[in-house]
Structure 1
Amino acid sequence: MLLLLLFLSLPPLSAAQLCHPNDLAALLAFKNSFSNPNSSLPSWDPQFHCCNWYGVECNDTTNRVLGLDIASVDLHGTIPPSLSKLHHLQRLRLHKLPNLVGPIPPELGQLPLLGYLVISWTNISGPIPSFLTNLRSLSYLILSFNRLSGPIPPSLPSLPYLYAIDLSRNLLTGPIPESFGHFLLSTALDLSHNMLSGDIPASLGNVNFSRIKLSRNKLSGDASVLFGKDKVADTIDISRNSFEFDFSKVGFMESLDVLDISHNKIYGSIPKQITEAVYLQFLNVSYNRMCGEIPTGWKLKYRSESWDNSSFFHNRCLCGVPLDPCK
């Protein structure tokens, strides 16, 4: 009874005291690093529990900050190094922040539990830093729709749990690293809409990609290594490059849903085995150098209505439905 009376006589914890002091300090430093903190993050008021602030996710038991998801607010400034003080952070998403500029700070490599990193639709610039490989828990890396430049770090495939990487719509240059043929997991890879060049590494044939998008670059060489009857990709988009290989020799995975090889220098015929891709919904082989009869007898589970002559035209001598009959 005496203990109960003593407990009831204690003053209630303030909202700020419910937050771990280190997390509270790091969040306030994040907010105050921007030139317009009060207008952009008005709910981030230390009078209120930080786990109820916009975009902040906490552990229900410990109140430690696990996630930070900031999107579509008017932040002006750079990514502050104070994020590295959120030692329990597992998820970070900075999305649609057009006035977020500058490089990715090296302090971001000091978050050992970070598994989900999204920085997209911003104006961050500079290189993709190699220190991201310090994030040994990282499984999901999205750095799309930014102004990142320079080469792709060859060390990224060393991350043991990485299964999704999207570096699309940046200003990246140079080749795809040979090391990208050594991902440890079945990986979804999107490098589209950059300025990458050079031959595609043959090592990419070692990876059973779940999805691969390389469109709108300046890549060349033999991309047939991405295909195979025993692979599991649902999307292969290598359009608008300078790939050159014999399409008649590739095999097709049953799981394929989207195939776009248009605007390349691919030759040969369309293999009959493509009709076994029962989930195929989008197909474009136009603007290549292929010949022969378009296969018939498709075994599609869901018949696509989007295939017309535009999926096949501007080849050397393809023929058959939906193009002109073969002679």
Structure 2
Amino acid sequence: MLIIYPILFLLLSTHYSGAELCHPKDKSALLAFKHSFSYPVNPFPSWDPVFDCCTWYGVQCDETTNYVTGLDIAPYQDLNGTIPPSLGNLPHLTVLRLHKIPNLVGEIPPQLGNLPNLRSLTISWTNISGTIPPFLANLKSLVFLDLSFNRLSGSIPPVLAKLPYLRGFDFSRNQLTGPIPESFGHIPATAEFPVLALSHNKLSGELPASLANVNFSAVDISRNNLSGDASVFFGEGKATSSIDISRNNFEFDFSKVRFTVSLDILDVSHNKIYGTIPEQITDAVYLQFLNVSYNRLCGKIPTGWKLRYRSESWDNTSFFHNRCLCGTPLDPCK
């Protein structure tokens, strides 16, 4: 038996080496990706040219064509370097995820704009810098774009709003400046119920009125320096389940706002919102988190909530520091 095992291993190895599925150009692009990084030891030890690249860590291939369609590198604490241009040589890539790589620096290379089949692009929790490049608008198949938790600066390219299928973009936790582009109110109808996530940046200026045209599924533009009328995100006919516009400079009449039944998170705190809390808010049966504190609201807090699941988190902190709100859980109205 001690003799059979080495022979069996040799036979299996010979058979495996002859069953190379990975396309040579894809393998070459991946090896160039690997060799572009510095690392205390050999990065991606499974990325051995002896083996089929479809078996390598983080690599996914199409079961029919065997082209590389996915690359997911996360996390990699000690990987040092910039995003290699060689990624542009993977034309069949549909998913690219570089996540929690703190020593990934530099800018997003223009070669990433040459991936016609890319549907999901995530570069998050890294130290990449520079601007959000307009050439990302070349990715016509893109559905999800996540550039959160980086060091990106500059303005948001208006041209990104033209991506026909983009349903979610997350640029939160960066150093972005300027306004939300007016073009974001004209997102194509093919991008159904997009997510708008721009929190924790340095954005400023008034919200475009055109944003009222878009049926967002979720909005988080908190912790910026935005102003104007944020009621554009509200409406009974909308599908928006989560709205967080807190810690900005919004100023509008809350009395005129209408709420969708599907709303489950609402945070408008730390603004300059005035008026009353509409009674119609009690129709939001899924509402689980509510914060209207630190505004200029007046009047009686609505009662008779129709909540399906009563939230335990609502207390006076959800309503305090307003001009003259009263009623449970604040002091009684006089």
Task: Give TM-score scaled by structure 2 length.
Answer: 0.93
Q: Mapping of 1:1-327 within 5 angstroms?
A: 12=15, 14=17, 17-36=20-39, 38-73=41-76, 74-184=78-188, 185=191, 186-327=193-334
Residues 141 and 75 (structure 1 numbering): CA distance in 2 closer, same or farther, change over 3 Å?
same
| Residue 60 of structure 1: how far off its partner (Å) | 1.5
Distance 1:235 1:15 in 2: 53
| CA displacement, residues 141-183 of structure 1 (integer Å, 9 cap, x when unaligned) | 0000000000000011100000011000000000000001011
SS of 2:33 mapped into structure 1: helix
CA distance in 2 between partners of 1:234 and 1:206 (Å):
16
Query: 1:94: how far off?
Result: 0.2
1:3 corresponds in structure 2 to: none
Cα-to-partner distance string for 1:229-268 (whole Å, 9 max, x where unaligned): 1111010000000000000010001110100000000000
1:12 Cα shift?
Answer: 4.6
1:19 shift after superposition: 1.3
The Cα shift of 1:72 comes to 1.1
Q: Hey, what's the Cα distance between the residues in 2 that align with 1:83 and 1:15?
A: 26
Query: Does the 8 A contact of 1:198 with 1:219 survive in 2?
Result: yes
Percent identity for Structure 1 against Structure 2: 71
1:25-68 Cα shifts (integer Å, max 9, x gaps): 00000000001285331111111111111100011222210000
Residue 37 to residue 132, structure 1, CA distance change in 2 (3 Å): farther
Q: Which amino acid counterpart does residue 161 of structure 2 have in structure 1?
A: P
SS for the counterpart of 1:157 is helix
User: What letter is aligned with 1:61?
Assistant: T
Q: Distance in 1 between matches of 2:47 and 2:67?
A: 16
- 1:176-224 CA deviation, whole Å, 9 max, x = no partner? 0000101122211100000000001101000010101100000001111
Count how many residue pairs are aligned between Structure 1 and Structure 2.
317
Q: 1:19 to 1:196 in 2, by over 3 A?
A: same
Which stretches in structure 2 are left out of the alignment for 5+ residues? 1-13
Moved more, 158-167 or 44-53: 44-53
Shift of 1:13: 6.3
Cα distance between partner residues in 2 of 1:38 and 1:163: 39
Q: Which runs of structure 1 show a deviation greater than 6 angstroms over 4 or more consecutive aligned residues?
A: none
Tell me the SS of whatever aligns to 2:243: strand
SS of 2:103 mapped into structure 1: strand
CA distance in 1, matches of 2:202, 2:19: 48
Q: 1:6 — aligned with what? A: none
Matches of 1:203 and 1:37 in 2, distance apart? Answer: 51
